[in-house]
Amino acid sequence: MAIKKDKNKYTLSINYAHVVQSALIDSIKYLNPLMMLRNPTMFIVEICFFLMITLTINPSLFGPSLLSKQNNLFITIILLLTILFSNFAEMIAKHLARAQAESLTIIHGDIEVKRVLPNETIEYVFSSQLEKGDIIRVKEGDLIPVDGEVVKGIASVDESAITGESSPVLKEPGTDISSSVTSGTRVLTDWLLVKVTSEIGQTYLDQMVNIAEDAERHKTPNEISLNALLTATTLSFLLVAVSLAVILNYLYVKVEISFLIALLVCLLPTTISSLITPIRISGLDRVNKLNVLVMSEKLLENAGDMDLLFLDKTGTITFGNRMASEIVPFGTNSILDVAKTAYLASYFDQTPEGKSILSLARRYGAEVDISQTNGTPHDFTAHTRMSGIDLSNGDILRKGACDSIKKFALSRGGKVWPNTDQVIENVAIQGGTPLLILKNNEIIGLISLKDMIKITIKDKFKETNLLGIKTIMCTGDNALTAKVIAKEAGIDECMAQAKPEEKIHLIRDYQSKGMTVGMIGDGTNDAPALAQANIGLSMNAGTVAAKEASNMIDLDSDPTKIIEIIKIGRQLLATKGALTTFSITNDISKYFAILPSLFTISGLEVLNIMHLHSELSAIISALIFNTIIIPLMIPIALRGIQVRAVEPHKMLQHNLLLFGVGGLVIPFIGIKIIDLLVGRFI
């Protein structure tokens, strides 16, 4: 594991050769029967392996045998490889998870940092000594050791080690996402003062490390159920093999014990029992690579079963700050005149909305040198709902809420143009917030403020329809604005003027109908709904209450990631189902390979429909196929099967057909090819 620097970009490299080597070594260590007990299916295979060792030493241990020591040794080696490949499948997944945890730990080591004291002096301490609320100073080249909020300064930050994105991110105070910094990222330019927002050892990076390290130790409910099924199946086949041996002995039919052992091993669900852990760990790893913190693996399976998704609007779908987007002049006034008036009326407005008006006015070429202008500023108040400036030349300039500006103008005997109300309504219908601009006693124009939808979101949620998931946007805004934003984001329905308790009641109603409900939010008022939902995804740029109430946190604050999370959840479930189906159906071909070998003395050679070379080559070919199919399936288990944007039941039907038929056909072909090769040497 190492950190590499290339042109100010820091990346982590994983030594995959070391991972494979460690997995191979552990595969041998796990031959210990006490360790093998954790997997009942492979434990039975190991018992069969020990039996074959004894038969290799003494082929006549259980009576006269036609098989030589060499033949028994060959079968013994194949069984050993089966166990080793099974262990390797599990170990490679575990070591990859550990490598991921180690890579995160490297970028989160205990380093010396500069803590800013109340008297503004600098104190050098280690990052492990920091406490929530401390202020630290980081400059160009420094690693940010904690989750925090920028309180002063502006700088470019490299987040590639956490997010995988190579482009630097500009960080500055008071801009939601841009003010939030994550431990493990690095300052590329300038400097920042950062307020620590998490306890040491409880940062999001710490939690990702813990989840990666614990991935091998915890099982989801579905996995526990699958393990129970595989254990029951193993015991059933064990009982069948023992009963068959007793019955054949009672009928005085001679059957090689080695062949019975081979039959049992081939019948056991060795493939899927070897791949459960790789499937689970790789699913969690894919979510971590999305830069999403998941509190438990069960949530991935819940996400795969999601039926309904609720979304908050402000700060989740939109940026949360209304920005000036358009200037509309009234009557004979020009856009430039309105823009200049708006610029002067907003100059002393330090709110994000006020700053956005200045920015928009500059684009119209309406910037005014305020130092050359004398006047008395009027701040915005909840009572007046407007702000502006009284110039020394007698001009009165105001901007503010429509009803307040109209009332102010009419009280002074001013002029309101006839189309004013129509323009106001049009702006509202389009999802904007209108502000009127007044000069002296005349309303000269309008500025439209709009809570801009995030670029990454536009039309993205339309994909949830293909996944069979209904989306509902919940917001406290008016119905007109809500409908416009919902349509632009590709959301099915919207719930306007929604209160927190109404969101909870609605989620509970759907849950009572047996539906799995997801919720995405970022505000304190979203916390109850996030806690109630089956899957609660909060934004890293959101409030502490929202993050504590949720069970998933997106460190990049991109709500569209829920689509990828849903796909990963479905991929996890589908991969388990597909490989389980494949594992069960491929047993059928093994029956036709081994059963004729067991009953050839009884004249049942007709069962040999595959026309295999001999009884021994049939046994060995089936065992070899049973062994090599495990490593061949490891890439599928780690990568997961492809998930299409279709409803779950359609995807299930497709995978059952594909892997079910594949499980029937591939073993026939594989065993026949192996038999042609083995037959040359036996």
| Active-site residue list | 312
From residue 143, alpha-carbon distances to 112, 136, 171, 185 in Å are 10, 12, 14, 6
- Distance in angstroms (rounded) separating the CA atoms of residues 36 and 48: 13
Degrees to nearest 5, angle at CA 334 with 329 and 338: 60
Query: With the CA atoms of 210, 214, 215 and 220 taken in that order, what torsion angle do they form, in degrees rounded to the nearest 10?
Result: -110
Residue at 598: amino acid letter: L
Yes or no: say if 615 and 261 are a contact pair by the CB < 8 Å rule.
no
Contacts of 212 (CB under 8 A, 6+ apart): 97, 98, 100, 101, 104, 284, 285, 288
- 198 DSSP 8-state letter: S
Owner of token pair 């400097």: 191
3-state DSSP of 423-453? HHHHHHHCCCEEEEEEECCEEEEEEEEEEEE
The string of DSSP codes covering 610-665 is T--S-HHHHHHHHHHHHHHHHHHHHHHHHH-----SS-HHHHHHHHHHHHHHHHHH
- Distance in angstroms (rounded) separating the CA atoms of residues 139 and 156: 10
- Distance in angstroms (rounded) separating the CA atoms of residues 616 and 144: 65
Instruction: Give the β-pairing of 135-139 and 122-126.
Output: unpaired
Question: Which burial class, exposed, middle or buried, applies to 2 when counting CB atoms under 10 A from its CB (0-12, 13-18, 19+)?
Answer: exposed
Yes or no: say if 365 and 336 are a contact pair by the CB < 8 Å rule.
yes
Yes or no: say if 526 and 519 are a contact pair by the CB < 8 Å rule.
yes
What distance, in Å, lies between the first and last C-alpha atoms of the chain? 47
> How big is the chain by its Cα radius of gyration, in Å?
34
Q: 417 φ, ψ to 5°?
A: -70, 145
The string of DSSP codes covering 111-152 is -EEEEEPTTS-EEEEEGGG--TT-EEEEETT-B--S-EEEEE
Residue at 308: amino acid letter: L
Instruction: Give the β-pairing of 318-329 and 442-453.
Output: antiparallel
Report how far Cα 593 is from the mean position of its chain's Cα atoms. Answer: 43
From residue 439, alpha-carbon distances to 1, 405, 429, 561 in Å are 66, 10, 26, 47
- 469 DSSP 8-state letter: -
Positive or negative: CA dihedral 632, 219, 538, 131: negative
Residue at 450: amino acid letter: K
Q: 9 φ, ψ to 5°?
A: -105, 125
Yes or no: say if 579 and 269 are a contact pair by the CB < 8 Å rule.
no
